Amino acid sequence: MRAHEIIDRCRALAELSESPTGLLRTFLSPPMQEVHRLLGQWMEAAGMRAHIDAAGNLRGVYPGGPRRLLLGSHVDTVPNAGAFDGVLGVVLAIALVGALGGRSLPFSIEVVAFSEEEGVRFGVPFIGSRALAGTLDAELLSRRDAAGISVSEAIRQLGLHAAQVPEARVDEGVFAYIEFHIEQGPVLDSLGLPLGVVTSIAGQSRFTIHFHGQANHAGTTPMHLRRDALAAAARWISVVERHARATPGLVTTVGSVEIQPGASNIVPGAVRASLDVRHSEDAVRRQSAVALVDAAGRIGTRRGIAVDWQQTLDQRATACDPRLVEALARAVAAAGFPVHKICSDAGHDAMILAACVPVAMLFLRSPGGLSHHPDESVNANDTEAALAAGAALLTDLERKYA
């Protein structure tokens, strides 16, 4: 399969959305089931046997020798998403397997379409890859979405059984996990390079912060007698931005703010805000996260606003496996492309898998550096380059395990 067919497949999957106004596909939603159906067909056509595990991951196995190589990425999306974040890695992996034409390798290949990586439906990311790593625990399974449905119930609604989640775990035969993914940033584009070999992935902290003020009449409540939850949150958001601008390498985002009751003639009574903090050094990230949560409390105290918070993620930075990084670098060079090593500031399923198996990633240039946006794209030539590097990697591994 050539690059343009891979891109067409990604664009076809991007039509499968639960939102009428843009691409949104969350954990086990009806359009996700349609994605499973199509990807399952493509897996079978490429010589794989496909099944869905108890965490809703679609898994296709191409038989071969006793050890196993995992390839994959996620098929859920952010709201108003582009067509390539996650999905490209799955479609490209299926194409790599299809290109083997049924030839048996000294290892089997399993392509995994992870069910959840973005954290949109339950506020916690990596549900799919945690099942493979054996860290999808009871607390996470009991998390509820905005409609009050828990992760376990969502699994049951699909006819699956949460009690079988432990069976999704990878076994000792798995020797590597390789993820192909768009860069989602401007570095490769600015350097004019098609591919990047990922050496590490930055850690992430995520929080939900609640500001509890007092809703009241917008006309009759004098300014000095208000307890405006949104004014406090706004003050805090400016502190969050200033802190990151003053801390090299730190990125902080308040990406979601919900206001209650949310009317132009009511003083905001309550605000729920998200906080996302990332840095390649865990100590810097954790110290900043503590400082920013404390700042919310201090601002609240000054304004008579109670503040509480929950941490929803503390994911440490991840180093890719040095031997796999070198194997990928050799593969990129063998395919005739310049080798450029790069750190990832986006989170990936590879971070979770790294707890139980050596991981590495190959980035494809993101034109314009655009991602988590409907105009996100990938070049056909870069996709061709990734296919060539992937094929060279399989040849390298074939020699190693022959």
Q: Which residues bind ligand GLV (CB under 6 A)?
A: 118, 346-347
Min dist CB 74 to Mn ion, Å, is 6
- Cβ closest to ligand GLV, residue 73 vs residue 108: 73
Q: Does 76 bind Mn ion (CB under 5 A)?
A: no
What does 183 bind: Mn ion, ligand GLV, none (CB cut-off 5 to 8 Å by kind)?
A: none
Site membership for Mn ion, residue 376 (CB under 5 A): no
Q: Among residues 299, 348, 316, 304, which one has the least CA distance to residue 74?
A: 348
Smallest gap from Cβ 255 to Mn ion, in A, equals: 12
Ranges of H-type helices in 224-346: 229-245, 282-303, 322-334
Contacts of 302 (CB under 8 A, 6+ apart): none
DSSP 320: P
85 binds Mn ion (CB under 5 A): yes
The Cα–Cα gap between 104 and 111 comes to: 15
The CB density around residue 90, as the number of other CB atoms within 10 Å, is 29
Determine if 128 is a binding residue for Mn ion (CB under 5 A).
no
276 touches Mn ion (CB under 5 A): no
CB of 185 to Mn ion, least distance (A): 12
**Residue 179 binds what, of Mn ion, ligand GLV, none (CB under 5 to 8 Å, by partner type)?**
none
Q: Dihedrals φ, ψ of 54, to 5°?
A: -70, -10
CB of 178 to ligand GLV, least distance (A): 18
In the complex, the smallest distance separating the C-beta of residue 76 from Mn ion, rounded to whole angstroms, is 9
Residue 98, SS3 per DSSP: helix
Taking CA 346 as the corner, what is the angle to CA 37 and CA 299, rounded to the nearest 5 degrees?
120
Contact 386, 92 (CB under 8 A): yes
Instruction: Output 108 or 184, the one with its CB closest to ligand GLV.
Output: 184
- 359 vs 71: CA distance, rounded Å: 10
Smallest distance, Mn ion to C-beta of residue 181, A: 6
Judged by CB under 5 A, which of 72, 86, 185, 390 binds Mn ion? Answer: 86
Q: Which does 347 bind (CB under 5 to 8 A by kind): ligand GLV, Mn ion, none?
A: ligand GLV
| Residue 230 tokens, joined | 């949104």
Find the part of the chain contacting Mn ion (CB under 5 A) among 84-92, 157-165, 260-268, 361-369.
84-92
**Distance from C-alpha of 385 to C-alpha of 364, rounded to nearest angstrom:** 9
- Tell me whether residue 84 or residue 211 sits nearer to ligand GLV (CB atom): 84
Query: Which residues are at the interface with Mn ion (CB under 5 A)?
Result: 85-86
